[in-house]
C-alpha cells in the first residue's frame, strides 16, 4: 500500500471513489421503495405507490416460452446485439406499430431500456457536450448523461403545459454544444403523451441542426389511453436522427427479465453494440427467446392490462380531486399521476413542517403510511409522483390515508 494511504483516517472512504460516482445521485424511486420495505419489515402497513412496476405477473405464455427455451438449450451466449430471431421480431414490430423500417443490423437488444440509453449516451456524448432533457424527466436521464461528462440542459414544462415541452422552448435551448435531446412519451413521471402535431413541430427544430439527435424513450408505448402512439422517428426526415428505445418491462409486465432494445442508424447501433460488448455482452438467451414469442403473439393480455390501468387512472384522479391542495392533470398514458402539491409548502404537522416535496413525501410515508416519490428527482420540485400500478383496493385506501393526513396539516 502506498505510504500516503497510511496517514489517512480510513473510516470514510468516499474520497477514494471516482468523481463520476461522487456527483451521481441515488435513484429516488428505488430509494423510496427501499424505505417502504424497511417500514414494512418493522410491521408497519405501508402502501407503496413509488415504483414504476406493473403489479400484474408476466403472462403465462411468456413464462412458458422461457421454460421451453431452457429445455431447448437456450443457455449459451448470444450475439452481442441480440438473437437474430428476436431482432427480426423487433424489426417487424417497429414496422407494424411504429411505421419504422429498421434492418436487423440497426437493432440492439440490451439488459433493459436503461442500458440502451446508457449505450447511446456513451456512444455520442463527450466531455462538455450538452444533452437537452425535457422536464419532468425520468430520474436516470440526467445521471447517465453526467457519467459521460456531458452537461444536462433542462427544459421545464409545468402542469399548465400538460407537462409537455414545446418546440419553441427547444429551439431557444439549443447551442453549438448541443448533441442530443431526450424525452419519453408516454412520459414517466407525468403520463403525458406528445401528439403528432407536437412531435412534428419538435422534429422541425431538430432537423434544422444537422448534428443533433434525439433519444425517444417509448417504453410505455402500449399503455396509452387516447390517440394512437406516435414515434418521432417515423416523421419525415427523422429516422436518421432518432434513436428509438423500447423494451418489455411495462407493456408485457416483464420488469425482472431486464430486456430492452433500440432502433437507430447503423453507425450508432454498431457503436452501442461495441460498448455493450465490453460491459455486459448481451441479455440472457432464454429471456430473448421468450421475448420473441411475446412480440410474435397477440397483444390481448397487454391490452387487458392497459384497460385495467385506465380504470385505475380514472379512480385515482377522482379520489385525488377530492383532496384540497392537489392539482392534477389528465395523464394519457403510463401509470402515474403527477400532482402539483406546492400549496402544502409552509404547513406544519406534529412532527415538523413541510418545506418542499421531499418533506411532503416523507410526511405521507410517516403519517399516512403511503410511499410516493418527490418530484425533485424528476426535475419538478413542486410535484410528487404517484404510481397507480396497484390494486383498486390499495388505491382507495391510500387516498383515504392521504386525505386524512393532509387534513391534519396547519
CATH of the domain at 376: 3.90.1150.10
- Name the residue range of residue 27's domain: 3-57+301-407
Q: Which residue has the higher pLDDT, 3 or 17?
A: 17
- What CA–CA distance (Å, rounded) separates 170 from 162? 16
Mean of pLDDT values over 336-342: 98
- Quick one: 137 and 121 in the same domain? yes
Query: Is residue 67 included in any domain, yes or no?
Result: no
Mean of pLDDT values over 234-262: 97
Query: Is residue 359 included in any domain, yes or no?
Result: yes
25-82 pLDDT, tens per residue?
766 666 777 777 777 777 778 999 998 899 999 999 999 999 999 999 999 999 999 9
- What CA–CA distance (Å, rounded) separates 275 from 277? 5
The reply to whether omega before 188 is within 30° of 0 (cis) is no
pLDDT value of position 152: 97
Set of cell numbers at residue 287: 429471456
> Binning pLDDT at 50, 70 and 90, where does residue 318 land?
very high
Instruction: Please check the confidence at residue 241 and state whether its pLDDT lies above 90.
Output: yes
pLDDT value of position 4: 36
pTM for this structure? 0.92
Q: Are 280 and 77 in contact (CB under 8 A)?
A: no
> Binning pLDDT at 50, 70 and 90, where does residue 385 land?
very high
- What CA–CA distance (Å, rounded) separates 82 from 79? 5
pLDDT value of position 230: 98
Place of cell 424489426: 91
Instruction: Please check the confidence at residue 269 and state whether its pLDDT lies above 90.
Output: yes
What is the number of structural domains in the chain? Answer: 2
Q: What is the CATH number of the domain that holds 274?
A: 3.40.640.10
Place of cell 383532496: 323
Instruction: Please check the confidence at residue 1 and state whether its pLDDT lies above 60.
Output: no
Which backbone phi and psi does 114 adopt, to 5 degrees? Answer: -60, -45
- Quick one: 14 and 33 in the same domain? yes
- What CA–CA distance (Å, rounded) separates 184 from 163? 12
> Binning pLDDT at 50, 70 and 90, where does residue 14 land?
low
Q: Using DSSP, state whether 132 is helix, strand or coil.
A: strand
For residues 289, 292, 294, 297, the Cα torsion angle rounded to the nearest 10 degrees is -130
Q: Are 223 and 335 in contact (CB under 8 A)?
A: yes
Query: Is residue 132 included in any domain, yes or no?
Result: yes
Instruction: Please check the confidence at residue 11 and state whether its pLDDT lies above 70.
Output: no
Q: Are 16 and 2 in contact (CB under 8 A)?
A: no
pLDDT value of position 25: 73
pLDDT value of position 55: 93
Residue ending a domain, among 296, 322, 356, is: 296
Residue ending a domain, among 275, 296, 317, is: 296
- What CA–CA distance (Å, rounded) separates 361 from 387? 13
Set of cell numbers at residue 363: 410526511
Residues 6+ apart with CB under 8 A from 109: 81, 82, 83, 86, 87, 90, 259, 260, 261, 282, 283, 288
- Quick one: 269 and 365 in the same domain? no
Set of cell numbers at residue 259: 430486456
Query: Is residue 64 included in any domain, yes or no?
Result: no
Q: Where are the beta strands (DSSP E) in 124-174?
A: 130-135, 151-156
- What CA–CA distance (Å, rounded) separates 131 from 148? 11
Residue ending a domain, among 296, 318, 333, is: 296
Transcribe 48-88 into DSSP letters: E--S---SSPPPHHHHHHHHHHHHTT--S---TT--HHHHH
Place of cell 418489455: 248
pLDDT value of position 18: 82
98-142 pLDDT, tens per residue?
999 999 999 999 999 999 999 999 999 999 999 999 999 999 999
Query: Is residue 171 included in any domain, yes or no?
Result: yes
Query: Is residue 70 included in any domain, yes or no?
Result: no
pLDDT value of position 39: 75
- Quick one: 93 and 41 in the same domain? no
Mean of pLDDT values over 216-233: 96
- Quick one: 370 and 238 in the same domain? no
Query: Is residue 131 included in any domain, yes or no?
Result: yes
Cα separations in angstroms, 185 against 31, 72, 222, 282:
24, 37, 11, 26
169-219 pLDDT, tens per residue?
999 999 999 999 999 999 999 999 999 999 999 999 999 999 999 999 999
Q: For the chain, what is the mean pLDDT?
A: 93
Mean of pLDDT values over 79-108: 98
- What CA–CA distance (Å, rounded) separates 297 from 262? 20
Instruction: Please check the confidence at residue 5 and state whether its pLDDT lies above 50.
Output: no
Amino acid at each position: 500500500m502506498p505510504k500516503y494511504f497510511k496517514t489517512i483516517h480510513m473510516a470514510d472512504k468516499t474520497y477514494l471513489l471516482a468523481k463520476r460516482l461522487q456527483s451521481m445521485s441515488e435513484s429516488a424511486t428505488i430509494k423510496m421503495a427501499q424505505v417502504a420495505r424497511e417500514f414494512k419489515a418493522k410491521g408497519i402497513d405501508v402502501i407503496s405507490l413509488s415504483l414504476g412496476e406493473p403489479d400484474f405477473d408476466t403472462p403465462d405464455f411468456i413464462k412458458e416460452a422461457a421454460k421451453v427455451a431452457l429445455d431447448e438449450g437456450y443457455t449459451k451466449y448470444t450475439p452481442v446485439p441480440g438473437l437474430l430471431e428476436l431482432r427480426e421480431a423487433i424489426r417487424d414490430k417497429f414496422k407494424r406499430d411504429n411505421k419504422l423500417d429498421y434492418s436487423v443490423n440497426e437493432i440492439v437488444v440490451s439488459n433493459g431500456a436503461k442500458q440502451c440509453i446508457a449505450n447511446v449516451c456513451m456512444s455520442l456524448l463527450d466531455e462538455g457536450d450538452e444533452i437537452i432533457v425535457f422536464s419532468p424527466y425520468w430520474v436516470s436521464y440526467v445521471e447517465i448523461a453526467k457519467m459521460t461528462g456531458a452537461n444536462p440542459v433542462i427544459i421545464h414544462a409545468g402542469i399548465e403545459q400538460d407537462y409537455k415541452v414545446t418546440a419553441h422552448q427547444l429551439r431557444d435551448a439549443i447551442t453549438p454544444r448541443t448533441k442530443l435531446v431526450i424525452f419519453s412519451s408516454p412520459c414517466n413521471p407525468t403520463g403525458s403523451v406528445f401528439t403528432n402535431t407536437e412531435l412534428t413541430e419538435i422534429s422541425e427544430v431538430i432537423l434544422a441542426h444537422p448534428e443533433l439527435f434525439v433519444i425517444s424513450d417509448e417504453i410505455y408505448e402500449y399503455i396509452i389511453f387516447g390517440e394512437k402512439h406516435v414515434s418521432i422517428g417515423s416523421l419525415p426526415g427523422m429516422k436518421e436522427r432518432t434513436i428509438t428505445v423500447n423494451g418489455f418491462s411495462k407493456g408485457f409486465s416483464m420488469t425482472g427479465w431486464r430486456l430492452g432494445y433500440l432502433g437507430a442508424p447503423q453507425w450508432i447501433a454498431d457503436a452501442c453494440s461495441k460498448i455493450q460488448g465490453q460491459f455486459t455482452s448481451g441479455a440472457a438467451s432464454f429471456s430473448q427467446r421468450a421475448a420473441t414469442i411475446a412480440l410474435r403473439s397477440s397483444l390481448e393480455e397487454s391490452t387487458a392490462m392497459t384497460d385495467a390501468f385506465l380504470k385505475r387512472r380514472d379512480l385515482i384522479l377522482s379520489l385525488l380531486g377530492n383532496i384540497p391542495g392537489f392539482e392534477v392533470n389528465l395523464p394519457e398514458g403510463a401509470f402515474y399521476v403527477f400532482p402539483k402539491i406546492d400549496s402544502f409548502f409552509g404547513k406544519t404537522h406534529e412532527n415538523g413542517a413541510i418545506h418542499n416535496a421531499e418533506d411532503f413525501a416523507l410526511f405521507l410515508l410517516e403519517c399516512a403510511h403511503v410511499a410516493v416519490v418527490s418530484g425533485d428527482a424528476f426535475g419538478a420540485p413542486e410535484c410528487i409522483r404517484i404510481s397507480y400500478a396497484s390494486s383498486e383496493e390499495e388505491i382507495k385506501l391510500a387516498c383515504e390515508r392521504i386525505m386524512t393526513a393532509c387534513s391534519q396539516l396547519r
